[in-house]
Amino acid sequence: MREKTQILDGPGISRALTRIAHEVLERNKGTDGVVLVGLRSRGIELARRLSRNIKEIEGVEVPVGALDVTLYRDDLGKVGVQPVVRKTEIPFTVDQKKVVLVDDVLYTGRTIRAAMDSLMDLGRPRLIQLAVLVDRGHRELPVRADYVGKNVPTSQQEQVQVLLEEEDGVDRVVILEPEPSASARRAAEGQER
C-alpha cells in the first residue's frame, strides 16, 4: 500500500474534534450521564481528546473508558491469524449512561456491532451514540454515526489510515492505495512517453 492523498492534517483533526465535542454537548444537552468509550487503540486516544475538549467548553470531566472488541468479532477463527486481545478498561458502570462510542474510522460497521454487543454485556446503557473521525462508506450492516469528523468516499481497495501523535508521532489522516502492479506501471510509463 502507498499513500494516495492526505485528507486531514493536524489542525484539521483538531477542528473536527472541537466541533464534535460541541455537537455531543448540544445533542445531549450537557454532560449529565454522558460517558465516552473509545474502541481499540486509536479510538481511545480520540475519546480522551474529546473529553479534554468538553472539559474546556463546559468545565466538566466526562469519564473515558477503553473497549476491546476482539472477543466479540464476527470473524474469529476465519481470519488467518488470531488478533491480539487487549484489555477492556471501563472503570465505571454503563448502566443508565449515555455512552458515546468513539472510533477512528467507520467502514463496514462490524466493529461497532461488536462494540454494542460488548457494551450490552457490561450493563444497560440508556442510549448509545457513535462518534467517528472518518466515515469511509461501504457499510455492510445498518450502522450509522451520530457525529462524523469527515466523510471520505473511498474504493474497497483503498485503506484509510489515522495517525495520532500519541501512538504514531504525528496527527494526520491519509488514504492508502494498493501499489500498482508491474504491468499497470509499464502501461503508465508507456502513456507518459
Partner 1 sequence: MALKQKDLLTIRALPAEEITLILDTAESMKEIASRDIKKVPALRGKTVINLFYEASTRTRTSFEIAGKWLSADVINISTPASSVAKGESLLDTGRTLQAMHPDVVVIRHAAAGAPQILAEAMSASVINAGDGAHEHPTQALLDLFTIRERFGRLSGLKAAIVGDIAHSRVARSNLHGMRKVGMEVRLCAPATLLPRHAEALGAAVTTKMEEAIRDVDIIMMLRIQQERMESGLLPSLREYSRLFGLTVERLKRAKEGVLIMHPGPMNRGVEIAPEVADGPYSIILDQVTNGVAVRMALLFLLTGGQPAAAA
Position among 8, 31, 50, 68 found at the interface with partner 1 (CB under 8 A): 68
Locate 28 and state its grid cell.
445531549
Tell which positions 128-187 bind partner 1, by CB under 8 A. none
Tell which positions 78-97 bind partner 1, by CB under 8 A. 79-82, 84-89
Using CA atoms, how far apart are residues 24 and 52, in angstroms rounded to an integer? Answer: 13
- Size of site (CB under 8 A) for partner 1: 21
Is the Cβ of residue 68 or residue 104 nearer to partner 1 in the bound state? 68
Instruction: Report if residue 123 touches partner 1, rule: CB under 8 A.
Output: yes
Using CA atoms, how far apart are residues 147 and 26, in angstroms rounded to an integer? Answer: 11
The count of other CB atoms within 10 Å of the CB of residue 123 is 14
The nearest distance, CB 166 to partner 1, in angstroms, is 21
Q: How far is CA 66 from CA 136, 173, 180, 182, in A?
A: 23, 22, 38, 43
Position among 26, 32, 121, 189 found at the interface with partner 1 (CB under 8 A): 121
Using CA atoms, how far apart are residues 7 and 187, in angstroms rounded to an integer? Answer: 28
Which of these segments, 6-14, 30-38, 103-111, 117-125, binds partner 1 (CB under 8 A)? 117-125
Torsion region of 51: left, alpha or beta (phi above 0 gives left; psi -120 to 50 gives alpha): alpha
Q: Which residues bind partner 1 (CB under 8 A)?
A: 68, 70-72, 76-77, 79-82, 84-89, 117-118, 121-123
